[in-house]
């Protein structure tokens, strides 16, 4: 985890220094006074502007999850469970929201522990028939609150967000500044790829930490493992269009809400012929999940919980 933090710091530094160096070179060549200072000012303005635009235009996760708040009167058992688990983890009780989606979603929204919303879908509540399994899932999500993972991941993902914003805006440039744009696009792409890899590695580590914390709080790693197995099977059986609807919150949910393989695009007059390149597309998709996935494979998480059960 420390290596990921250091790597992301280096990636962010590379982005800032690269942008600064490019503008420094431009103003130095045209004979401007104080080119270093001018380049630093322009770089700072670009970084702040892109960061504001990227974060300012994101829809809230609550809206993306299409969840509605519930309280002690409308969902007494859910309220009591969440309040009890929050007390065990020594975090404030969350506001609870339930979405009507069939996809099994479970996530927390909010940067500060005092202002957190726990979002659960009907798919999750109905899939977890045993109350202790639902408690284990809630414990996992509130462990993220205890560890302040939302704040940590938001900060460390800043280089990726800035690089993505820079890429999308530079792609529209078609005037003489294209030479500068090509350099910045190359830099932004490199930062985006490396930053995504490191951010995903850190995210997987935070998921494992939340699993351990939840298992300790409920006193049963087996129960959390059972809940993850049920949710994983439910995701595999969920229609792809339902998973696409939930894709916006996939990285925040307890399990990624996406199919193991990409949706097949069939060819031929009858639409029943698989493209000859599809084997390569599936392999590429699996490699992408391996290196850029925000969650560890469910099998790895189950094995870790099994080891924890034996040790305890």
Q: Give me the phi and psi of 119, to 5 degrees please.
A: -110, 125
Radius of gyration of the chain (CA): 23
Q: Please name the residues in contact with 94: beta carbons below 8 A apart, sequence gap of 6 or more.
A: 82, 86, 108, 110, 116, 117, 118, 142, 145
Instruction: Name the β-bridge partners of 119.
Output: 97, 107
CB 194 within 8 A of CB 180: no
Q: Which candidate, 95, 101, 73, places its Cα nearest to that of 83?
A: 95
Alpha-carbon span 230 to 117, nearest angstrom: 23
Q: Give me the phi and psi of 273, to 5 degrees please.
A: -110, 125
In the block, tokens 């899932």 appear at 137
Three-state helix/strand/coil letters over 64-121? HHCEEEECCCCCHHHHHHHHHHHHHHCCCCCEEEEECCCCCCEEEECCCHHHCEEEEE
The catalytic position among 141, 207, 234, 258 is: 141
CB 121 within 8 A of CB 106: yes
In the block, tokens 């009907």 appear at 122
Active-site annotation holds for 263: no
**Residues forming the active site:** 141
């Amino acid at each position: 985890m420390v290596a990921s933090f250091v790597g992301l710091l280096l990636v962010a530094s590379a982005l800032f220094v690269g942008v600064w160096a490019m503008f420094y070179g431009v103003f130095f060549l045209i004979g401007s006074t104080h080119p270093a200072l001018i380049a630093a000012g322009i770089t700072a303005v670009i970084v702040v502007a892109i960061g504001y635009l990227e974060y300012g235009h994101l829809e809230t996760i609550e809206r993306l999850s299409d969840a509605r708040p519930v309280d002690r009167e409308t969902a007494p058992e859910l309220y009591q469970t969440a309040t009890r688990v929050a007390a065990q983890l020594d975090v404030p009780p969350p506001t609870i929201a339930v979405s009507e989606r069939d996809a099994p979603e479970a996530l927390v929204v909010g940067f500060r522990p005092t202002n957190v919303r726990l979002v659960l879908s009907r798919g999750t509540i109905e899939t977890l028939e045993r109350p202790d399994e639902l408690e284990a899932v809630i414990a996992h999500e509130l462990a993220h609150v205890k560890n302040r993972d939302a704040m940590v991941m938001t900060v460390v993902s800043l280089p990726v967000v800035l690089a993505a914003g820079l890429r999308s805006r530079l792609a529209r440039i078609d005037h003489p500044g294209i030479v500068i744009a090509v350099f910045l696009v190359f830099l932004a792409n490199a930062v985006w790829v490396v930053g995504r890899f490191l951010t995903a590695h850190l995210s997987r580590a935070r998921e494992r930490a939340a699993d351990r914390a939840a298992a300790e709080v409920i006193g049963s790693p087996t129960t959390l493992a059972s809940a993850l197995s049920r949710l994983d099977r439910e995701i595999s059986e969920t229609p792809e269009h339902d998973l696409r609807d939930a894709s916006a919150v996939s990285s925040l949910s307890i399990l990624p809400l996406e199919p193991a393989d990409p949706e097949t695009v069939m060819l031929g007059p009858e639409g029943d012929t698989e493209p000859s390149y599809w084997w390569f597309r599936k392999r590429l998709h699996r490699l992408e999940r391996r290196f850029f996935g925000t969650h560890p494979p469910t099998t790895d998480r189950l094995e870790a919980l099994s080891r924890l059960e034996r040790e305890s």
